[in-house]
Amino acid sequence: MSGPTVGVDARTGAPAESGDDAARASAEVWRAARRLLDGLPGDRGLNIAHEAVDRHVLHGDGGVVALRCVAPDESVSEVTYADLASLTNRFARVLDRLGVAPGEAVFSLLGRGLETYVTALGTLKHTSLYCPLFAAFGPEPVRERLRLGHGRVLVTTYDLYRRRVAPVRDGLPDLRHVLLVDAVPPAGPDGAAAGTAVPGTLSWAALLDDADDSYEIPATDPETPALLHFTSGTTGKPKGAVHVHEAVVAHHATGAHALGLRGGDVFWCTADPGWVTGTSYGIVAPLTHGVTVVCDAGEFNARRWYRILQGHRVTVWYTAPTALRMLMRTGGELAREYDLSALRHVASVGEPLNPEAVVWGQETFDRPVLDNWWQTETGAIMISNEPGSPVRPGSMGVPVPGVVATVLERGDDGRALVVDGAVREVTDPGGTGELALRPGWPSMFRGYLDDEARYRRCFAGGWYLTGDLARRDEDGYYWFVGRADDVIKSAGHLIGPFEVESALMEHPAVAEAGVIGKPDPVAGEVVKAFVTLRRGFEPTEDLRLELVAFGRRRLGSVAPREIAFDQNLPHTRSGKVMRRLLKARELGLPEGDLSTLERV
Ligand code: ATP
Ligand code: MG
């Protein structure tokens, strides 16, 4: 096997000692969750694609619609579980034919569409490693990730290949095969070779057509590497996190607990397929529940989104704070023009969801808006406002069953304070510290690509350290405070930018805000806010002064000293405000790794 190397040591950070009741209870929860899945027939292990696709066919549900693909022109094509089983079998056969070995990496550089599902799930059947990239990446980020992950196969489009991959292909000796989903072989007797008119590429369609549609998934040890995802790069250079097939236990369980998925649902996850959410909840979790997944290839547009929610009778909608804030900017009246009565709840992830957005969403859709928290590294939702439980606007919710979380006392750098390998939990309700999780949940990452040392630094005292700051209230709800790297230190206070952003968003003129610390000779740092206005508000000096005063009333001494208007806050492609870029620009510093910046 010549796939990428990872420092796989699933037991780093050692699960709690055997006497720990919480750890024992959590292990039992995951064992029970595992029993809800089938495993490969003949007791041959656990494979994500089998649980997501084939098992429904075996259970007689092959005729259920698995995917409803919405094209940019809003025409719809449906794919059943049986169709998906056969297409993914074919793709696994194609990988065999191309000589791809188990464990080797298959990358996708695609928009939202059927091809992404077939590539991901066919690769998982084959027990190769699936790695999605954002289709909007330029040549450098594509090259860098293919190189790091030793990509053997890339599935992409003609246009993306020409613009993003061809210019850097010479520097990618490991990349043996490029499959174009929209190029067909030139006519002629040579068609069987499946080459296209573009030198060095193969036709995806011709290869699939030629392949047999039966395939037996090889025995799959649950610890087999399955997925490689690069983080969003919000705080620095993206890291490649590796997950194994066992992760499907957590995908399935959280699909039920955190998203409330059940048979007959129509589920829409708006995440980009290049981001971990696009895989865990765009593909795996909903399919393991046998629901119908809406997959929209179009761009964000408020009316279009409401039309999809209405037209497809979406029952569970998983989206992101920026999307909700963009809808908020367009106003509640627009939403009320549509019949969204099929919807049971809306869930959100990726960034702090301001209480303002929760309240707006709940009033506008007349449905719960459920924030939940997780990271690329955790592979699945860890903390969530669960359907049916009371929502606390502004809180991320409570740990999902099986997850043991805590808040650890922190040192001067904002991270957990580790003394002789030991850490201390914050015991006061409401005390802020680094959010930490007990290792051992099934979708925990098993390593960062080529960075064992960094992986080890994520663990201390028997905990996985998340890099986020949080507080836990007396009822056990977790509240996001900020990223340890983002915290502003001003005149002896530690300020989480999110708290300031949320307070500003309570002003009717503010649609979104990004807050940074700016060096100051007296205070150490002062708070500066960049503010995007809602429709109908002008960026006047009066409004600026009003916002400064508003901030002071709400926040007192931690209020922003400076406020600037910015209708184009920089976001990552996963929808997060890139505060480090705001800061670099403000200070005239190098902008750093911008591979994941959303270009507008
Ligand atoms: P990088 O690690 O490269 O800096 P990133 O942390 O943004 O990028 P992801 O793994 O995509 O990459 O994002 C996970 C992070 O997103 C979390 O650690 C947290 O900071 C933030 N996040 C996710 N969900 C929430 C939420 N519900 N509330 C607040 N923050 C959230
Ligand atoms: Mg991160």
Above pLDDT 70, what percent of the chain? 95
Note the pLDDT tens digit of each residue in 374-408. 999 999 999 999 999 999 999 999 999 999 999 99
Q: Which residue from 85, 83, 127 is spatially nearest to 105, judged by alpha carbons? A: 127
CA of 507 to the centre of ligand 1 (A): 25
In the predicted structure, residue 197 carries a pLDDT above the cut 80: yes
Taking all residues of the chain, what is their mean pLDDT, rounded to a whole number?
A: 92
Are 208 and 244 in contact by the 8 Å Cβ rule? The answer is no
Task: Give the architecture-level CATH label for domain 488-596.
Answer: 2-Layer Sandwich (3.30)
Helix (H, G, I), strand (E, B) or coil at 70: strand
- The amino acid occupying position 323 is A
Q: Which residue from 391, 398, 340 is spatially nearest to 370, judged by alpha carbons? A: 391
Note the pLDDT tens digit of each residue in 117-157. 999 999 999 999 999 999 989 899 999 999 999 999 999 99
Candidate CATH numbers 3.40.50.12780, 3.90.79.10, 3.20.20.120, 3.40.50.12140; the one for domain 10-384: 3.40.50.12780
Tell me the pTM. Answer: 0.92
Q: Quick one: which H or E segment has residue 120?
A: helix 114-125
The ipTM, to two decimals, is 0.99
**Topology agreement, domain 10-384 and domain 404-437+451-483:** no
* Residues in contact with 420: Cβ distance below 8 Å, sequence separation at least 6, in sequence order: none
Q: Of all protein residues, whose CA lies closest to atom 1 belonging to ligand 1?
A: 233
Report DSSP letters for 255-309, one per residue: HHHTT---TT-EEEE-S-TTSHHHHIIIIIHHHHTT-EEEEE-S---HHHHHHHH
Fold classification of 404-437+451-483 is Luciferase; domain 3 (2.30.38)
Note the pLDDT tens digit of each residue in 5-26. 443 343 333 344 444 788 899 9
Domain boundaries of the chain, sorted by first residue: 10-384, 404-437+451-483, 488-596
In the predicted structure, residue 216 carries a pLDDT above the cut 50: yes
Q: Is 157 in the pocket of ligand 1 (CB under 6 A)?
A: no
Mutate to test the pocket of ligand 1, among 230, 351, 377 (most ligand atoms within 8 A of CB): 351
CA of 238 to the centre of ligand 2 (A): 8
CA of 375 to the centre of ligand 2 (A): 6
When pLDDT is cut at 50, 70 and 90, the band that residue 600 belongs to is low
pLDDT number for residue 599: 76
Long-range contacts of 421-426, Cβ-Cβ distance < 8 Å, separation of 24 or more: 421/460, 421/461, 422/460, 422/461, 423/460, 423/461, 423/463, 426/471, 426/472
Mutate to test the pocket of ligand 1, among 279, 322, 346, 375 (most ligand atoms within 8 A of CB): 375
Q: Of all protein residues, whose CA lies closest to atom 17 belonging to ligand 1?
A: 375
> 38: which 2 tokens?
């089938």
Between CA 192 and CA 75 the distance in angstroms is 32
